[in-house]
Structure 1
């Protein structure tokens, strides 16, 4: 905030005398301009204290001169005496009083430069104070970010710093956290969001649901920020409210509102809070990814124990996953938590392959026991729910489903001894084998394949399942282990399906035919087989089908 005329008038060494406009002395002074022109307004921006000795001014010039200064937005007029005029002409005093323009008499012994220096020092001190306030606020926001509640603490602190309200929104626009300072917020988001709230300063603050209502009406601005990545923020202003909306990375937003316009210092505070919130949210996501990776390792170990027949030990390992979840950057997971124990009753096994979806993300979407294994996601689910879960998994990749009830586990959910019917380890291994066989036949056009659907496939049905699977795994292993982003197995499948026609196979994969030619050369080199040899093609097709 710039110093006021009243503050300048109180500087004793300047000996300024107020002659007119005393009721307007609270106007801010943004600069001092010295001019002896009859019309200095073309060289003014507004907010200046204009100083003149009246060298070219006569009584008749008083009204037009003062009127032009007022129209231009000058803060006040200082009239130097002792040179051109022995005293300030009464006509200028009257005109200034009539226009409400503060008028000072500047004595002969007070040089104009002294007034300029005094105002400059006040402006510098004010700017330093503003910067100090901004640094202090940034420090308080940083300390809030270091608190256990992190993001929420920053939101609460920011609301106090700006004396208004703050919303933290997730990527969908839903309210994750909201805060406001009671008694320092306007009663409604008038002219900006159109949300009616309770009056400021009431004991209860805003009406219940004000945050959700504000979030709904801010949705158009969120859409703008999503669609225009170059936009760093959106500023809105109404008669009673000023709002800033900023994205926090790509998965969150925050909105800040106040009854007062945002000064440069308050903008700095809001931007600092935005940086801290972005950092905190990214740290939360990193912690979430680490936690999910750790949980995936536990589930993978539990699956290995189940395949070894150690049902009780597997369930003890899974029980460790029922502890408190880590902090999440966004709303709570919409799916129910994964069961800490293996379900009872008839079970089905699913094998899911998702090239473009993180397996941890897929595991979050499936409401059943899941575990990563060999680049696949294995799901064990009650047989009655297998179809629904396969449909969810099939939306983003390929899924193989075992026969219903291939595994049966009896006993209560608390029975960690794992009383079972039959050989759980053997049945589970068989179910996993069935799911992987079905997965091998899945295609983008038919992403979900069930093992019973494979019956009656001609010559392949005559092969020993275990021997055939072992042969296929060994033959295709070099392709699966190839360290490249290209999926050589799927490329080979498309090439053979299209009977070696480059254009058709490349179109099926969505790549250029030269890219496919290169991949097939790599397949030939890795396998040591000539793909033009019908016998090699037949052998590879059988392996892929198995």
Structure 2
């Protein structure tokens, strides 16, 4: 941190006297009697000291500087406050830390009008005695700045050394982030590639501040959504939040977030930059390891489907922990190629967080999950977070795993027809076997089967197909079908006989009726117009 105005005024060799800008006019005040009403003024930083007697020196100044003047720009005997107000206003708007007035050069003491203007704009004002040259004030400030920079550079080296040693520990990434938090006096959080909080130091950072977590997570996800390396600084809840993506272009691995009561200075930024490099390297190494583990998982899943449960259990126990206890649920999840790495990393973290509840492996453009029955919430959260379609099987033993996988694949096929989310095999089973026909190649076969009847209806403006549908729906009862259609039962009988001739089928047999009914379902209900009651005319 840069030195403060308090340190500069405290130098006994300079003899600077602060004039209270918030109290009564204090011309000739001494350091012992000059204490401003707002102590925060004394804590303003001093970047440098500059001297000028220009009426408008602001083009040559920058924020956080101290300006020294002898007052020649005001004339030999200024008496009006209005002469000083615009001058002080310009200094205030430029962000000047304080104004020093050299006495006994042009006039004795500090003009009352200048004191009043500084008081109204809360710009600290101090007197520089005749015996103290302006260059001595500038040199003293320069020495303080140099001492601060040396101290911060020394701190940065020590901090980087401590962080480098932490990186050599077994869990190098966590140890590195914990050490960074200690060195900065800030909390440090790591978000994974999906924007989920991975780890935070100190651990209780967000326990009592869920709103702060929501703010940081929202900003982290915004950076990740851009898909490019980037950083941002935001203010939230009185803290300055600094976020930086980790990983290369188009392969972001996460976001490092820091928060504290003050912004990072140059030395702190250098330390954070070194940690970003270490964290990015660690995540890339983890990603390479994840790819190797992914291949192993795929092989183990094939082995598991082949029936060798014991072998997979032994390997999994050593690598990730025990397999989920049977009966298990099998899920198949569609995975977009651009999100595959992020989804895989998300699942790896869930395996670490919930050991013994999840096993997964990639299979072509999908991911297959084996879930402990009570862990289906993991699947729901995955679909919600990444906007995915998933199919879920009935509970199954490991010996019945191939059948459960078939169920999950049928369910995900149905899930693709609607919004993102989880479709269970029970949902599919409740709709019946024949309901699947409209979603298979049976559609074309059904149209070919019914083509003679469809052609006859179009050519003669008859309703053979509609009558056939109603008759089959009424289980072959001519009277019930006639009542639904609003015609005489003999009319229904005649139409069914015509349909039998066109279809070349004896509809008195169950197989023929079942075949025609399946054809009706496969061709979609749009082929058959809705049944509308008709009035039977004599």
TM-score for the superposition, normalised by structure 1: 0.50
How many angstroms apart in 1 are the aligned matches of 2:399 and 2:73?
100
Q: Give the 3 Å change call, closer, same or farther, for CA 271–85 of structure 1 in structure 2.
A: same
Q: Confirm whether residue 34 of structure 1 aligns to residue 59 of structure 2.
A: no
1:12-51 CA-partner distances (Å, limit 9, x unpaired): 3333334444424333222222111233344433332211
Q: Give the 3 Å change call, closer, same or farther, for CA 34–337 of structure 1 in structure 2.
A: closer
**1:153 Cα deviation after fit:** 2.3
Partner residue of 1:324? 318
Decide whether the 8 Å contact of 1:39 with 1:65 is kept in 2.
no
Q: Confirm whether residue 113 of structure 1 aligns to residue 111 of structure 2.
A: no
- What SS class does the counterpart of residue 56 from structure 1 fall into? helix
1:473-528 CA-partner distances (Å, limit 9, x unpaired): xxxxxxxxxxxxxxxxxxxxxxxxxxxxxxxxxxxxxxxxxxxxxxxxxxxxxxxx
How many angstroms apart in 2 are the aligned matches of 1:395 and 1:316?
28
1:274-305 CA-partner distances (Å, limit 9, x unpaired): 322222222233344455667888999x99xx
Partner residue of 2:73? 56
Q: Give the 3 Å change call, closer, same or farther, for CA 3–181 of structure 1 in structure 2.
A: farther
Partner residue of 2:281? 279
Decide whether the 8 Å contact of 1:366 with 1:393 is kept in 2.
no
Match of 1:385 among 397, 401, 404: 401
How many angstroms apart in 2 are the aligned matches of 1:76 and 1:132?
29
How many angstroms apart in 1 are the aligned matches of 2:195 and 2:316?
30
Counterpart mapping for 1:476-487 below 5 A: none
- Over the aligned positions, Cα root-mean-square deviation in angstroms equals 4.4
Decide whether the 8 Å contact of 2:173 with 2:282 is kept in 1.
yes
Q: Give the 3 Å change call, closer, same or farther, for CA 13–245 of structure 1 in structure 2.
A: closer
Decide whether the 8 Å contact of 2:178 with 2:201 is kept in 1.
yes
**1:135 Cα deviation after fit:** 3.1
How many angstroms apart in 2 are the aligned matches of 1:217 and 1:99?
35
Match of 1:246 among 229, 244, 247: 244
Q: Give the 3 Å change call, closer, same or farther, for CA 222–181 of structure 1 in structure 2.
A: closer
Q: Confirm whether residue 69 of structure 1 aligns to residue 88 of structure 2.
A: yes
How many angstroms apart in 1 are the aligned matches of 2:317 and 2:73?
86
1:160-194 CA-partner distances (Å, limit 9, x unpaired): 33434333222333332233377xx7xxxxxxxxx
Partner residue of 1:6? 6
Partner residue of 1:499? none
Match of 1:128 among 134, 150, 170: 150
Partner residue of 2:126? 104
Mark the structure with the bigger radius of gyration. 2
Match of 2:193 among 162, 171, 174: 171
Decide whether the 8 Å contact of 1:18 with 1:104 is kept in 2.
yes
- What SS class does the counterpart of residue 14 from structure 1 fall into? coil
> What runs of 5+ residues in structure 1 fail to find an aligned partner?
186-196, 198-205, 340-351, 368-380, 397-444, 447-546
Partner residue of 1:542? none
Decide whether the 8 Å contact of 2:298 with 2:363 is kept in 1.
no
- What SS class does the counterpart of residue 224 from structure 1 fall into? helix
**1:221 Cα deviation after fit:** 2.8
Decide whether the 8 Å contact of 1:151 with 1:280 is kept in 2.
yes
- What SS class does the counterpart of residue 248 from structure 1 fall into? strand
How many angstroms apart in 2 are the aligned matches of 1:353 and 1:85?
88
Decide whether the 8 Å contact of 1:62 with 1:92 is kept in 2.
no
Decide whether the 8 Å contact of 1:38 with 1:65 is kept in 2.
no
Partner residue of 2:17? 17
Decide whether the 8 Å contact of 2:63 with 2:96 is kept in 1.
yes
Give the number of the structure whose residues are more often helix, by fraction.
Answer: 2
Q: Give the 3 Å change call, closer, same or farther, for CA 20–217 of structure 1 in structure 2.
A: closer
> What runs of 5+ residues in structure 2 fail to find an aligned partner?
22-33, 322-343, 372-396, 413-438, 441-538
**How many residues in Structure 1 have an aligned counterpart in Structure 2?**
337
TM-score for the superposition, normalised by structure 2: 0.51
- What SS class does the counterpart of residue 134 from structure 1 fall into? helix
Q: Give the 3 Å change call, closer, same or farther, for CA 240–142 of structure 1 in structure 2.
A: same
